Amino acid sequence: MPPEINTGDTAWVLAAAALVMIMTPGLGFFYAGFTRSKNVLGTIMQSFIVVALVGVQWVVIGYTLAFGETADLPLLGHGVIGNLDWFGLNDVGLIPSDTYAVSVPHEAFMIFQAMFAIITPALITGAFAERAKFSTFLVFMLLWSFLVYDPVAHWVFSAGGWLSAFDYFGDDSGINALDFAGGTAIHINSGAAALAAAFLFRKRLGFGKVPMEPHNVTYVVLGAALLWFGWFGFNAGSAGAANGQAANAFVVTNTAAAAAALSWMFTSWVLSGKPSVIGAAAGAVAGLVAITPASGFVEPWAAIIIGAVAGVVCSLACRLRARAGLDDSLDVVGVHGIGGTWGALATGIFATAAIGPVAGGGIDGLIEGEASQVVDQLIAIGVVWVYSFTVTAIILKVLDLTLGLNVKDDDEELGLDVSQHGERGYVMDSGA
């Protein structure tokens, strides 16, 4: 007899998937506000089109590689990548999966996970904003999803992944890395890729010499608000059910974002003499990033600490990046790479078995007496940083030698809106 579908759980997972979907266009507005006006459409388009591109890739092959039964590979063994049994969503149907989210249709779990696969490569685009060749960008997004996101998602999220606490819960011989909603698989993964991209793409023309102020701070705040709103689906939806863990994830998500918005704002106030609006918005995002891996495992008091530290550390990381002269256009490394790293580590520190059921149980962290959890978290952090940075750098180098990464100088001066898309974000001319 097939597993019984819980309609309440199904409604919540589908609603959460919709919340996560709106995050990627929201990210487009967040990023676009930081750019100059001649690049606003090009920047929004990079996020918007990823919804379509990865939306198809995930259905065809991404889902089976990330969540299919782990393949037994020569030399590499188990836990590296999923098999092709679910290629084209074969056998992914209307009844629950025996392995994942057993109270909702398998298709519901699949489409929820699709939204994570979509937003992760979109996050990287902030590292090369205002200078990427659109045709090469499409190829890069597709290759990165296939070669980086899908394997890492399998390691971290799948039942057979070699870093996954889901598979090895209770087995001290395995690596029980906790990642409730994507601190390693999404934020460290995209942050490491962004660092590689910042090195491989040439700097924007005039970088460090001419002003490159955000053209529309209201877009930044609007995008941050959409991200904050959608993040409730991102984290609370990862419970896979309408239950207590989902409620806790919802509470700690809001709490960490609030604490980080305050701490970044006060940091900017101390360092620059003014409470920055951009700082408050970026701080909220940093807090959301940091709480993501911990949201199903920590109590609200811990979320305040996680968020407050994230706001300060990510703010200082972005200032350090600017002083170093690295053209990570929109500070993806400082917010997602550093914020995700702190969040993954904090998960190992603050996790409590009282909150987090993983495959029927919970895991304690350092404060609860399990120092080994910090070690597992550090292993996952290091592995994902190295793998994502290395493979991303290889992909980009090959594309640079074949298709070219950057637009021509004249096209960059003109702006991506006109040079890449033949349109303008703002029409200031009078008349019809």
Question: The domain containing residue 86 runs over which residues?
Answer: 7-419
Residue 236 belongs to some domain of the structure: yes
* Mean of pLDDT over the chain: 94
Identify whether 427 is part of a domain: no
Domain count, the chain: 1
pLDDT tens sequence across 295-336: 999 999 999 999 999 999 999 999 999 999 999 999 999 999
Distance CA 43, CA 31 (A): 7
With cut-offs at 50, 70 and 90, classify the pLDDT of residue 79: confident
Q: What is the pLDDT of residues 351-371, one digit of tens each?
A: 999 886 654 457 899 999 999
Residues 6+ apart with CB under 8 A from 145: 54, 57, 58, 62, 117, 120, 121
pTM over 0.85: yes
Interior CA angle at 43 toward 205 and 57, to 5°?
125
Q: What is the pLDDT of residue 59?
A: 98
Indicate which CATH number applies to the domain containing 288. Answer: 1.10.3430.10
Q: What's the pLDDT tens digit per position in 33-65? A: 999 999 999 999 999 999 999 999 999 999 999
Q: Is 30 part of a structural domain of the chain?
A: yes
pLDDT tier at 165, thresholds 50, 70, 90? confident
Residue 161 lies in a domain: yes
The percent of residues above 70 in pLDDT, for the chain, comes to: 94
Please report, for residues 228, 281, 305, the alpha-carbon distance to residue 258 in angstroms, rounded to integers and kept in the order given. 10, 10, 11
Is 2 a domain residue? no
**Is residue 271 in some structural domain?**
yes
pLDDT beyond 70 at 170: no
Residue 384 in any domain: the answer is yes
Residue 242 lies inside a defined structural domain of this protein: yes
